[in-house]
Amino acid sequence: MPALEVIRPGMLALVQDLGRFGVAQQGLSQGGVLDLHAACWANHLVGNTSSSAVIEVTIGQTQLYARSDLLVAITGADMSPQLDGDVCPLWQSFEVKKGQVLTFGYARTGIRAYIAIRGGIATPEVLGSRSTVPRNQLGGLVDGQALEAGDIIPLGEADPTQWQGFVGRMTSFRFIPDYSQPIMLRVIESYQSHLFSFDDKERFYHSVYTVRQESDRMGCRLSGSAISVEVPEMVSEGIALGAIQFPPDGQPIILLNDRQTLGGYPKIGCVAKVDLSLLAQARPGTEIRFEKGDLPLLQKEWLAFGRFFGV
């Protein structure tokens, strides 16, 4: 059976797919790739479906040994990947021969890279997904654990004679994001937006926030103009992906894939799903701004993305 061996996991390497849906009522997180754009492109380049599991590498320093011939694509953050010491292309598929070693440095731009392999990652499905959620002890090779040195990652069967047409497949330059730029996030205001005064909203939309070091897969924590909302005690409710909540310190948190399922902080709205991929690549210190989203336009963009990638 084709497989990859982990020589060095780096800071954090996780098996992820599109996520685990319909489980929030059990108190379980969605999980899944944070940068949907990069992950879908990686799978597309090697001829996989978008639902195929990939490896999400955070920050870098991962090293993998090929135990079989593979067709691979790496997208997302630039971690200066090398194959047996030679530079690997990004956003382009390439072959890896049995016995070769794939090595990642530290991320130069962005923060998360995605490795797709023809046939997909074949770890066991748990509740309909291979996504790793450590806080729920679900997915991955064992009980939601991150990849570790010595792990053998099983891969789906893939016939090398049938992937030749995919070798060298590239992503058009216009679809490759520039992760070094400040980020503008479009917001769909929620039913709780009335809790925020006109002045609060003006300050929110005209402020520049920066990504804090404490950000993780649960949420992106921002630092900037504090917005303290005086509201009566709120009943905890389900939290949507991309929800922008304001805890007592007034600093916004954008909830991501590994978020808790319930929360009681006031929420001004949600970041549009099509914009969350850029946020997933935001390093600490990255500047973030917000603007009101045009809902029909955002729906059109999401439908176009979904039609192309089949998600």
On whether both 112 and 52 belong to a single domain, the answer is: yes
Q: Which two tokens stand for residue 21?
A: 């849906």
Domain hosting 7: range is: 3-175
For residues 191 and 129, state if they share a domain: no
Q: Looking at the structure, do residues 131 and 197 belong to the same domain, yes or no? A: no
Burial of 104 (0-12, 13-18, 19+ CB in 10 A): buried
Q: Which of 128, 158, 175 is the last residue of a domain?
A: 175
How far is residue 80's CA from residue 82's CA, in Å, rounded to a whole number?
A: 7
Mean pLDDT rounded to a whole number for the chain: 94
pLDDT at 231: 74
Q: What is the pLDDT of residues 53-94, one digit of tens each?
A: 999 999 999 999 999 999 999 999 999 999 999 999 999 999
Residue 93 and residue 123 in one domain: yes
149 and 191 housed in the same domain? no
Residue 223 scores a pLDDT above 70: yes
Tell which of 175, 210, 230 closes a domain. 175
111 CB neighbour count, 10 Å cutoff: 24
The closest of 191, 192, 188, 186 to 279, measured between CA atoms, is 186
Shared-domain flag, residues 198 and 149? no
pTM, entire model = 0.95
111, 140, 175: which is the final residue of a domain?
A: 175
* Residue percentage of the chain with pLDDT more than 70: 99
**DSSP, res 307:** H
Which of 100, 117, 112, 126 shows the shortest CA–CA distance to 35? 112
Residue 39's pLDDT is 98
pLDDT of residue 232: 65
Q: How many domains does the chain have?
A: 2
184 confidence band (pLDDT: 50, 70, 90) = very high
